[in-house]
Structure 1
Amino acid sequence: MNQRNDAADPSPRHAQADETNIRALVEAFYRRVDDDPLLGPIFSRELTGRWDDHLAKMTTFWSSLVLGSKQYRGNVQEAHRPLGDIEPQHFARWLSLFLDTVESRYEPAAAVLFMEPALRIAQSLQLSKFGWDYRIPDAQVDLLAALKRLRTGDAAPDLPARGNGEPFPATFVGRGKSED
């Protein structure tokens, strides 16, 4: 994986997604993942020698979701099933990095096209991984609801508050019912 860091990418934010900027988003996001102390070792272990294939697959995946290209052929649940050592904090970190990367690269109307499915997919994977009694973190549920309102224009988006320079809430770590 290319180790270049795009944290301070001066590029203007895109008003619309296209194949080129989706590819750039995927590459920038996975550079951040690869550099991340929590996620990097897991992705490195799983993708050593296969990074290029994974980046191409993720570009196709996001293009299928956001642009409707319908080129992705795969099963998201099955692809993640073999990852036995994934915990709630991994989902929190993945979401935080992904949402922050999307926000830095797209205007709000385009960003929501990535953010809403990312949160829905994360929720599905979390419930599949941790069981139906797993409590999806309130911050994650609230953000998904706010993004839906933003997409549909039902009401002012009332996005969760963030401090200056603070990434998306890392309080996406939920608890099972037994921990309440």
Structure 2
Amino acid sequence: MNSDHPPATTAREREPSEANVRALVEAFYRRVDDDPLLGPIFSHALEGRWDAHLATMTSFWSSLVLGTKQYRGNVQEAHRPIDDIEPQHFARWLSLFLNTVEARYEPAAAVQFMEPALRIAQSLQLSKFGWEYQIPAEQQELLAALKRRRTGDAPEPRFPERPAAEPFPAKFVGKPKDEQ
């Protein structure tokens, strides 16, 4: 994966489009590839397949956000072979994704990505760690805030405070991998 970063833009998109969804996916996965926690996992899982993965993720997000119905896959099955995923990896993925979306889209458009991302993360977490796994309260609160924002019951969602580049703040509850 190419780690060259394009210059940061200050203008945020008002509406998702095929072009800016592709740009979001590419920017996000550059950050993932450069990340010391996630980079090694993704590099191993996607060795020689980065371009195909970016195309799949673009069609996935376009299907979810734009309704293009291009994605043909199973999210749970795609992640099942990755054995070395732990709760802190989900936290870091969410942090990078939410920050990338927030930087690129106006709040009303950002919610269209953030709410599904949090729901998908919950589904993957429960699938990976078992039904007794407790989704971090901060993650649940953010999802509720995004839902209120989408339905017009609240102003722009307030994100939990965290230092720049820090993982999504969460206390993880569940069984450590060696106790499963």
Corresponding residue for 2:150? 151
User: Tell me, which stretches of 5 or more residues in structure 1 are unaligned?
Assistant: none
What is the rounded CA distance, in whole Å, between the counterparts of 1:84 and 1:177 in structure 2? 15
Deviation string, structure 1 residues 95-127 (Cα, Å, up to 9, x no partner): 000000000000000000000000000000000
- The equivalent of 1:3 in structure 2 is 3
Please state how far the C-alpha of 1:176 moved relative to its aligned partner: 1.4
Distance 2:140 2:147 in 1: 11
Change (3 A) 1:114 1:167: farther
Q: Equivalents in 2 of 1:152, 1:36: separation in Å?
A: 34
For residue 74 of structure 1, report the CA deviation from its aligned partner. Answer: 0.1
TM-score after normalising by structure 1: 0.91
TM-score by length of 2: 0.91
Structure 2 CA distance for aligned equivalents of residues 113 and 168 of structure 1: 23
Match of 2:44, as an amino acid? R
Spell out the pairing of 1:1-180 with structure 2 (5 A cutoff): 1-6=1-6, 9-157=8-156, 159-162=158-161, 166=164, 170-176=168-174
Q: Are the aligned partners of 2:135 and 2:173 in contact in 1 as well (CA < 8 Å)?
A: yes
The code of the aligned residue for 2:172 comes to G
Q: Is the 8 A contact 1:100 1:168 kept in 2?
A: no
> Aligned residues, how many?
177
Kept in 1: contact 2:63–2:69 (CA 8 A): yes
Gaps of 5+ in 2: none
Q: Secondary structure at the match of 1:114?
A: helix
The 2-side partners of 1:54 and 1:35 are apart by 16
| d(CA) in 1 for partners of 2:79, 2:103 | 27
Partners of 1:151 and 1:174 lie apart in 2 by 27
Q: Please give the alpha-carbon distance, in whole angstroms, between the structure 2 residues aligned to 1:158 and 1:14.
A: 17
Cα separation, partners in 2 of 1:38 and 1:173, compared to 1, 3 Å: farther
- SS class of match (1:134): coil
What's the RMSD between the two structures over aligned residues?
Answer: 2.0
